[in-house]
Amino acid sequence: MNENTPGDAREMLDLIDGQQRRVSREYRIPVVWLYTVWAVAWLVGFLALYLAQLSVFDPVAGGVVFGALIAGSIVASAVIGSRIGRGVRGDSQFAGAVYGVSWTVCSVAFALLGIGMIAQGLAGDFAGLYFPSAYALMCGTLYLAGAALWHDRLQLVLGLALLAVGAAAPFLGLGPNLLLMAVAGGVIFGAGATVTLRTLGSVSPRR
């Protein structure tokens, strides 16, 4: 005899729904922090370089501030990206780990490419055009990869925006390109944090 009642089935569905909401919320909260970290890093870091270009800020100090912020953001991306799929086994866990490591690996590769070009005679002004755009293109590409992995339309939009900024910045010349990066980075990543934060309300556990 089947002793299940409609009430039991409803409770089971509520339990499943609650678990799905909890998992979704645990995924989104770290993403809010991740976008916020990058928004601050790009806004403050590139603004420091821009002010140094105008001789308003010490160039060495500007470089240190920028380097520390970007390095911190890369580390945060690697850690958060590798832990987004925490508790999930199989292909999803592997994809999350690879995605997290990709931030560090790609950052080192782009840096070595720039350093190699400088060693071969690339002028400082051109290096100042290369590095900002290179990392904008890197971030944009990785966000597209994240969009494909997690079917995230927000990452798709942010990735495309970063690719557009990275491709357009060199046409402005050294100085204005840094200001564009500062403003665009703050807006793009800030928008990502805001949109993700707003979605948390829709995935809050039901009471």
**Residue 141 scores a pLDDT above 80:** yes
* Buried b or exposed e, range 65-86, using 16+ CB within 10 angstroms: bbeebbeebbebbbebbbebbe
Q: How much of the chain exceeds pLDDT 90, in percent?
A: 56
Q: Is the pTM of this model over 0.85?
A: no
- Give dist(CA 154, CA 190) in Å, integer: 12
Task: Check if the beta carbon of residue 46 is closer than 8 Å to that of residue 172.
Answer: no
